[in-house]
Chain A
């Protein structure tokens, strides 16, 4: 089974047409070339795929931030 990070990396890679291995936890959305609406679309896809609710906030900056938020909800 894929880890939360792997699932999120896969979804980001699909959005930006890149390889999942290029996505690193410390990367910010800006590093990945994602603008605010890309992030919103990504969050919707993550909510569908992972069955969680993610509230978008300014604190949500890196891939790791999202992973942590999802992990916290899974517990």
Chain B
């Protein structure tokens, strides 16, 4: 497996957010752990970001776009309604394989990994590219101080080859749009009832927190049990970066040292499904991630969806 990532140019600090929402740098740092995030600006596109992340993963794996035979793009909010962002990325890479989008909210990387595993196991693909390309800034409510401070944009990619390291994976979903949702413009069909106004990102943070804390500990313990591992045998717990306090709560329950819980939330905020592959790519870059290491991945998100996996790098 090889990872890659790409970030928008524009850094937005907490201080900058205080210009248009009633908040402070101290409040955001204390309550979330976030100090800044990257936000797409100018003419940047999410497919452009995705393609850049993909190129890094391909180059680290030492292969070209022509060698991949499937692209799965995880995105909570694609660049266009159609075509799929996977196809936009495919064009930018000059690849010729099929591609499609999956949307499992912030759990998208794990859902994509599960599909990848099935395609690789069946022999339908030998080298498959997962690209998590996320632009939450486009759907965020920039007037809501409780949510707009939390998110950032990013793309993370993973090149997966047959016979590689996924030891076990568990996914679940509990359909509930009330506590976390966004919807686009309804169009102008004369056959529909009154058009529903577009709704930017809404989140009931307390309910999401409850869902996250209870499910991530359960998922992590379940995948550890499935693979016969103790928390001690795990090199890193790579968790969805939604809030430092959720990561701390999980760490306290697992009774493991801080170094085993890498974070990038302080610099990137919550980049939805891109969090985990971006973090793994950064860990490749700084040498923390080494071949043979045992990783536990865990995420939760809109759906509601959640999942965890054990992966040997």
Contact = CB atoms under 8 A, between A and B. Distances in A.
User: Chain A, interface size: which category?
Assistant: under 10
Contact of B31 (A35, A40, A44): A35
Contacts of B209: 37, 40-41
Interface in A9-43: 35-37, 39-41, 43
Contacts of A39: 206
Contacts of B214: 44
Contacts of A56: 204, 206-207, 210
Nearest to A55: B207
Contacts, number: 28
B31 A37 contact: yes
Interface residues of B, number: 12
Interface of A: 35-37, 39-41, 43-44, 56
What are the 9 closest A-B residue pairs judged by CB atoms, nearest first? A40-B206, A40-B209, A56-B206, A40-B210, A37-B209, A36-B206, A44-B210, A37-B245, A36-B205
Nearest to B246: A37
Interface in B232-266: 243, 245, 249
B248 to A, nearest CB: 11
8 contacts: A36-B205, A37-B31, A37-B245, A40-B207, A44-B213, A44-B214, A56-B204, A56-B207
B183 to A, nearest CB: 23
Contacts of A43: 206, 210
B220 to A, nearest CB: 16
A40 B204 CA distance: 11
B144 to A, nearest CB: 14
Contacts of B207: 40, 56
Question: Which one of A35, A40, A41, A43 has the highest number of Cβ atoms from chain B below 10 Å of its Cβ?
Answer: A40
